[in-house]
Amino acid sequence: MRAPAWLPEPVRRVLRVVRRGWRVVAHRLERYSAPVRRSWRRSLQVRVVTLTLVASSLLVGTFGWFIADRSANILLDRAQDEVSASLQRKVLWASDQLGVHPQAYDPEISATILETVNELSDGDQAGDSDTVVSLRAEQFPEIRPTTVGPVGTDDLITKSMIGTVASDARVARQIRTVHVNGHATKYLVYGSPVQTKFGHVELYYAVPLTTEDRAANQIRTTVLVTGLALVVLLGVVAGLVTRLVVTPVRVAARTAQRLSAGLLDQRMKVDGEDDLALLAAAFNQMAANLQRQIVRLEEMSRLQRRFTSDVSHELRTPLTTVRMAADLIFSEREEFDPAVARSAELLQAELDRFEGLLTDLLEISRFDAGFAALDSEHTDLVPVVERVAERLTGLAERVGVELELHLPESPVIAEVDARRVERVVRNLVGNAVEHGEARPVQITMAADDAAVAITVRDHGIGLKPGEERLVFNRFWRADPSRARQTGGTGLGLSISAEDARLHGGWLEAWGAPGEGAQFRLTLPIRAGDRLVAAPLPLIPRDRTAEVS
């Protein structure tokens, strides 16, 4: 966010510096906190222990504060009761001592006051040398204040307290903190009027709360240490308890990962008869059932592949014999009756289709068995595409489809199996011609440093939503009711997808009802490289222009 233009330049400069500094600090905080955030997201144990520590800290802290505060209040109340009781005795004794003087200007009253204060200080049951006793007579200026103690009364006795005791003749109490010998000391100060024959004077009694403060600090320290120990103990207990629960879950996760990787004999260890043991037993039972099902399915798949391969091979021998006889009949068809000659042509066409189906079945069997291998070599793909287009030109002319080639003028060299690439392009172009609805079919090629892409675009019936994934299924057809021009087997796109995967490439489809379809073959320039992007878009450019 930019600084407003109306601000002075120095202010804007400072704001820019602050903004840059904030970005640097935020970046460093994000970088340093990344391991913590990662642990928080990935570890259930970390979350449970952290939440337990936070909750227990709040609970123990609140309880500890309540205990410490309540203990301090109890100590203070006890000290107040003791000082109040002692003050009452001192007031009575001082009243008796001063009662012998009928007037405030009696010459002997100063000596009596001094003797009384000394006696009150020496007779203090607390026995604390820091106790302060003071007698004042605010209403009688001729009587000088007398104080015994380690500190003066200026810091202990405030004006408001003097007003309450001297003017209102009421008992006052306050807590004051003063420095005694360089140390801050808290005092509990009481003030009370003392009745005499000539009026009343004021007795102030201040007792240090050193013992009570020390006891309160010890209580706070004890509560703090105990609370910290309790929080740590709760964290350890939470960690141990969570570990008991999380460890079997982690073992289950690792076992599940090994099962998904194909290690079907992996099992969890069952200890005891609790819920976790029940979970482990149920998991092992599930793994055993999955293993049996997978083994059974693999056996069925193996038998199916073997059956397909065996049938395909076994049909080769009678097919060869039938082919020889059919070729002989086909070559002599001109001497036959027209109906018989037509039957010979149909026989020849169906034998071609049957032979193609057997070839495709054998190829599919090799893919299923994992025996398919690439014969890669550096090949110029431009002539490969041109050769496919040339061979399908006759079929395209018969159905009224024009093949449009958009190929690079320079060679496109890639490390591929030329036979398999040619088969993929032939299948794509053949399907486009068949579904082209007598409209042009564009074949486009482009390449970059990492990949080469070939797209085949038709403007026929197109594909419905979701069919772009189904077109590569075996024996799947978009419209089974349509009459086929090429006599396909329904396995062409499946074999093409396997050929693309064998190269480490992609074979993808796009289509829209009534707008045609486009298939894109993407192959790496160098065998074994990983594809990241394709040089050509999957959605046709004309379609993109219409949408935009």
List Cβ neighbours of 382 (8 Å cut-off, separation of 6 or more): 407, 408, 411, 412, 445
Least confident of 5-14, 57-66, 523-532: 5-14
pLDDT digits (tens, 9 = 90+) for 182-210: 788 888 899 999 888 888 888 999 998 88
Same domain, 36 and 85: no
Average of pLDDT values for 417-424?
90
CA distances from 331 to 321, 336, 344, 417 (A): 16, 11, 9, 36
Q: Is the pLDDT of residue 510 over 70?
A: yes
8-22, 64-78, 368-382, range with greatest mean pLDDT: 64-78
Among 173, 200, 216, identify where a domain stops: 216
Residue 425 lies in a domain: yes
So what's the pLDDT on residue 276? 73
Is it the case that residue 300 has pLDDT exceeding 80? no
Quote the tokens at residue 254.
Answer: 């690792």
**Among 193, 216, 239, which residue terminates a domain?**
216
* Beta partners for residue 453, in sequence order: 446, 522
In this structure, are 393 and 531 located in the same domain? yes
My answer on whether 6 and 142 are in the same domain is no
Exposed / middle / buried, residue 272 (Cβ in 10 Å: 0-12, 13-18, 19+): exposed
Number of domains in the chain: 3
Q: Residue 385 in contact with residue 429, Cβ under 8 Å?
A: no
The predicted model gives 422-433 an average pLDDT of: 90
464-to-264, 427, 432, 471, 518 alpha-carbon distances in Å: 39, 20, 16, 11, 13
Is pLDDT of 39 > 70? yes
The DSSP element (H or E) to which 379 belongs, if any, is strand 377-380
More confident residue, 490 or 26: 26
The secondary structure of 80-115 as a DSSP string is: HHHHHHHHHHHHHHHHHHHTT-SSTT-TTHHHHHHH
Same domain flag for 424 and 476: yes
188-to-24, 79, 101, 192 alpha-carbon distances in Å:
54, 8, 31, 13
- The C-alpha atoms of residue 426 and residue 456 are separated, in whole angstroms, by 10
Q: Are residues 15 and 155 in the same domain?
A: no
In a domain, 327, yes or no: no
Tell me whether residue 8 is in a domain. Answer: yes
Q: Kindly state whether residues 529 and 405 are assigned to the same domain.
A: yes
Could you tell me the pTM of the whole model? 0.49
| pLDDT for the residue numbered 126 | 45
Average pLDDT for 251-274: 78
Are 9 and 106 within one domain?
A: no
* Cβ–Cβ under 8 Å, residues 44 and 238: no
* Distance of alpha carbon 515 from alpha carbon 458, whole angstroms: 8
**Alpha-carbon span 267 to 285, nearest angstrom:** 9
Of residues 253 and 538, more confidence is placed in 538
Instruction: Point out which residues pair with 416 in neighbouring strands.
Output: 377
pLDDT, one tens digit per residue, over 72-129 is 889 889 988 988 898 888 889 888 888 887 777 777 888 888 888 888 887 664 445 6
Q: How confident is the model at residue 377 (pLDDT cuts 50, 70, 90)?
A: very high
3-state SS string for 228-242: HHHHHHHHHHHHHHH
Task: Report if residue 278 sits inside a domain.
Answer: no
pLDDT, residue 4, reads 64
On the question of pLDDT at 488 being above 60, the answer is no
C-alpha dihedral (214, 216, 219, 225), degrees to nearest 10? -80
**What is the end-to-end Cα distance of the chain in Å, rounded?**
32
Mean pLDDT of 363-379: 77
CATH number of the domain encompassing residue 114: 3.30.450.20
Last residue of a domain, one of 162, 183, 216: 216
- 185 and 126 within one domain: yes
CA R_g for the chain: 51
Residues 398 and 542 in one domain: yes
Give the DSSP letter of residue 181: T
Report the pLDDT value the prediction gives residue 3, as an integer from 0 to 100: 58
pLDDT winner (highest mean) among 102-111, 364-373, 448-457? 448-457
Residue 34, pLDDT above cutoff 80 = no
Question: Which among 198, 202, 97 has a CA at the least distance from the CA of 145?
Answer: 202
Higher pLDDT, 137 or 124: 137
Give domain status of residue 190, yes or no.
yes
Q: What is the pLDDT of residue 123?
A: 62
**What is the rounded distance in angstroms from the CA atom of residue 311 to the CA atom of residue 24?**
71
Amino acid 486: pLDDT? 47
- The CATH number given to whatever domain includes residue 524 is 3.30.565.10
Give which of 142, 138, 135, 72 is closest to 104, Cα–Cα.
Answer: 142
Q: How far apart are CA 151 and CA 181, in angstroms?
A: 9
What would the mean pLDDT of 482-498 be, rounded to a whole number? 67
Q: What average pLDDT does the segment 3-26 reach?
A: 76
Within a domain: residue 301? no
Q: pLDDT for 320-356, tens place per residue? A: 777 788 788 878 777 778 887 888 778 877 777 777 7
Rounded to an integer, what distance in angstroms lies between the CA atom of residue 236 and that of residue 45? 11
Minimum mean pLDDT range among 206-210, 243-247, 429-433, 535-539: 243-247
Query: pLDDT band at residue 42, thresholds of 50, 70 and 90?
Result: confident
Tell which wins on pLDDT, 169 or 272.
169
Same domain flag for 541 and 393:
yes
Question: What pLDDT shows up at residue 509?
Answer: 93
- pLDDT reading at 479 higher than 50: yes
- Residue 386 main-chain phi, psi, to 5 deg: -65, -35
Residue 314 lies in a domain: no
518 pLDDT more than 80 = yes
Integer Cα distance of 382 and 387 in angstroms: 9
Model confidence at 547, in pLDDT bands (50, 70, 90)? Answer: very low
- What is the pLDDT, as a whole number, of residue 487? 47
Rounded Cα–Cα distance for residues 204 and 86 (Å):
12
Section 480-491 average pLDDT: 54
User: Do the domain assignments include residue 245?
Assistant: no
User: Same domain for 399 and 538?
Assistant: yes
The Cβ-side half-sphere exposure at 548, using a 13 Å CA radius, reads 7
CB 225 within 8 A of CB 64: no
* Segment 52-68 mean pLDDT: 88
- Write out the residue range of the structural domain in which residue 127 sits: 79-216
204 and 136 in a common domain: yes
Mean pLDDT to the nearest integer, 153-163: 85
- Supply 46's token pair: 């970390």
Q: Which of 181-195, 284-298, 303-317 has the highest mean pLDDT?
A: 181-195
What is the pLDDT, as a whole number, of residue 163? 87
Q: In 10 A of CB 317, how many CB atoms? A: 9
